């Protein structure tokens, strides 16, 4: 008979910038709710993280483990009911842990926005996770909780008001202040590197249904929102949103896992509001040039070294507190009635808000979602957490889900 896990939660990547914030959040918000430990490659850095937690951090267990070691990852999983990972780029460092969780029945949450890696993990380990009972939940941060749960919230309200879901939803970023994390930048660079080297990855990144389960039956043509455009519904010019590539895929996977609860012809797109055509065009050209440059090896190296923040770097606590985001959603039913909602966050989206979302996602999976309700497999935030996480995010993470008008 196997021994029960020593810890409820292990934070793997505790010494990363977001990992350090996550440890503070767990110390402040989850004390007494469950037993957690901090893990990473360097004991000295782990000890520094624990010291930074002050008196509340005394006694937090530390575990040294290497993401590249299959043995280390299996040993880590044997000690936890749930592992939370902030170790990215996940396509470079994440597979051994996902594999170990899927095979040992250990639940798992992360922050990845790497859609090509998510697809590979589902293909390789879905059967193992289902057999073992492991719930694997990718994308539990700024990408893609506000989008995925924002759509779920809108659909819940639409059914209550209209008796039917919205078959078309648009998300527009009205306002956002904050910086992109070094880990997110490293992930973007790795996606560009993979896409430049492999035509199959490029085709996959263009497929809005790339992470939907086999036989999903969804085929509605989607708007990529990849250029400057005037949006008559929002009465504003729009430009592409950098995170749309992962967010839209997660939303479509949620719809597929929910047996097309949003409709088999459901469409969803994301864009950023801009003040006038000139700004929309400039932003569009800037994103295009940036992504093209990342696809060229010499330019990519220069951008990595001299332009982008490095993994482990991030803004001060004061800067994180000044950040925010404001997402607006417009849903339209098949018969015409519309509904508008908004999702807002009161911290820097890439750091402070993301860490608090991840903390509450982990707590929700551990404490609120029994395995009899959601069994093993690869889930999305909307399909495994649903309204339970919305309640936690509003109570503890500074997010608000609000109906604006019908």
- pLDDT tens across 242-286, in order? 899 999 999 999 999 999 999 999 999 999 999 999 999 999 999
Average pLDDT, the chain: 93
pLDDT at 129 over 80: yes
pLDDT band at residue 1 under the 50/70/90 scheme: very low
Q: How far apart are CA 245 and CA 122, in angstroms?
A: 18
| CATH number given to 7-141+354-391 | 3.40.50.720
Q: How far apart are CA 372 and CA 137, in angstroms?
A: 17
Token pair for 5: 């896990």
pLDDT digits (tens, 9 = 90+) for 27-84: 998 888 999 999 999 999 999 999 999 999 999 999 999 999 999 999 999 999 999 9
> Per-residue pLDDT averaged across 171-190, rounded?
82
E strand or H helix at 103 = helix 95-104
Least confident piece of the model among 92-96, 229-233, 332-336, 347-351 = 347-351
> Per-residue pLDDT averaged across 214-243, rounded?
95
Give the pTM: 0.96
Is residue 92 within 8 A of residue 68, CB to CB? The reply is: no
> Per-residue pLDDT averaged across 126-130, rounded?
98
pLDDT at 406: 55
pLDDT band at residue 318 under the 50/70/90 scheme: confident
pLDDT at 373: 94
pLDDT digits (tens, 9 = 90+) for 73-112: 999 999 999 999 999 889 999 999 999 999 999 999 999 9
Largest CA distance in the chain: 67
**Sequence spans of domains, the chain:** 7-141+354-391, 145-349+399-405
Is residue 317 within 8 A of residue 347, CB to CB? The reply is: no
Is residue 328 within 8 A of residue 405, CB to CB? The reply is: no
pLDDT at 153: 98
pLDDT at 311: 65
pLDDT at 2: 64
Least confident piece of the model among 127-141, 158-172, 192-206, 367-381 = 192-206
pLDDT at 184: 72
Say which DSSP state 144 is in.
B
Planar angle of CA 45, 49, 53, nearest 5 degrees: 165
pLDDT at 399 over 80: yes
pLDDT at 350: 87
Report DSSP letters for 318-343, one per residue: HHHHH-EEEEEEEEEETTS-EEEEEE
Is residue 111 within 8 A of residue 140, CB to CB? The reply is: yes
Tell me which residue of 324, 308, 397 sits closest to 178, measured CA to CA.
324
pLDDT at 325: 96
Higher pLDDT, 251 or 315: 251
pLDDT at 322: 87
Token pair for 57: 């951090």
Least confident piece of the model among 36-45, 222-231, 316-325 = 316-325
Is residue 38 within 8 A of residue 14, CB to CB? The reply is: yes
94, burial (CB in 10 Å: exposed 0-12, middle 13-18, buried 19+): buried
Contacts of 142 (CB under 8 A, 6+ apart): 243, 325, 345, 349, 350, 353, 354, 357
Q: How far apart are CA 74 and CA 103, in angstroms?
A: 9
pLDDT band at residue 307 under the 50/70/90 scheme: confident
Say which DSSP state 309 is in.
P
């Amino acid at each position: 008979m196997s021994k029960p896990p020593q810890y409820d939660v292990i934070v793997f990547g505790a010494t990363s910038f977001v990992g350090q914030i996550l440890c503070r959040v767990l110390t402040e918000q989850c004390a007494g709710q469950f037993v957690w430990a901090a893990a990473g490659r360097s004991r000295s850095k782990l000890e520094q993280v624990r010291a930074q937690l002050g008196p509340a951090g005394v006694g937090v267990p530390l575990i040294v483990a290497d993401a590249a070691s299959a043995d280390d990852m299996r040993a880590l999983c044997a000690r936890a009911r749930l592992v939370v990972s902030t170790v990215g780029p996940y396509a470079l460092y994440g597979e051994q842990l996902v594999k170990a969780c899927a095979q040992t029945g250990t639940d798992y949450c992360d922050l990845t926005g790497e859609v090509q890696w998510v697809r590979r993990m589902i293909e390789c380990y879905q059967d193992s996770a289902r057999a073992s009972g492991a719930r694997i939940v990718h994308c539990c941060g700024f990408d893609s909780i506000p989008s995925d749960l924002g759509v779920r919230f809108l659909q819940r309200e639409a059914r209550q008001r209209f008796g039917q879901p919205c078959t078309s939803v648009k998300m527009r970023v009205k306002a956002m202040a904050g910086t992109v994390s070094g880990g997110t930048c490293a992930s973007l660079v790795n996606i560009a590197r993979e896409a430049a080297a492999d035509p199959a990855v490029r085709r996959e990144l263009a497929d809005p249904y790339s992470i939907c389960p086999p036989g999903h039956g969804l085929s509605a043509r989607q708007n990529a929102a990849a250029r400057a455009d005037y949006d008559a519904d929002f009465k504003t010019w729009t430009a592409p949103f950098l995170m749309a590539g992962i967010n839209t895929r997660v939303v479509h996977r949620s719809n597929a896992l929910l047996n097309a609860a949003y409709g088999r012809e459901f469409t969803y797109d994301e864009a950023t509001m801009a003040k006038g055509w000139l700004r929309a065009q400039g932003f569009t050209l800037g994103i295009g040039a940036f992504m093209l440059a990342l696809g060229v090896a010499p330019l990519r190296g220069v951008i990595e070294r001299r332009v982008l923040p490095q993994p482990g770097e991030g803004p001060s606590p004061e800067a994180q507190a000044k950040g925010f985001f404001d997402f607006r959603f417009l849903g339209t039913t098949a018969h015409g009635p519309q509904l508008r909602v908004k999702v807002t966050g009161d911290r820097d989206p890439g750091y402070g808000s993301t860490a608090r979302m991840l903390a509450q996602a982990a707590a929700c999976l551990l404490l609120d979602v029994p395995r009899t309700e959601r069994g093993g497999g690869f889930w999305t935030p909307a399909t495994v957490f649903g309204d339970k996480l919305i309640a936690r995010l509003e109570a503890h993470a500074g997010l608000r889900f609000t109906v604006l008008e019908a």
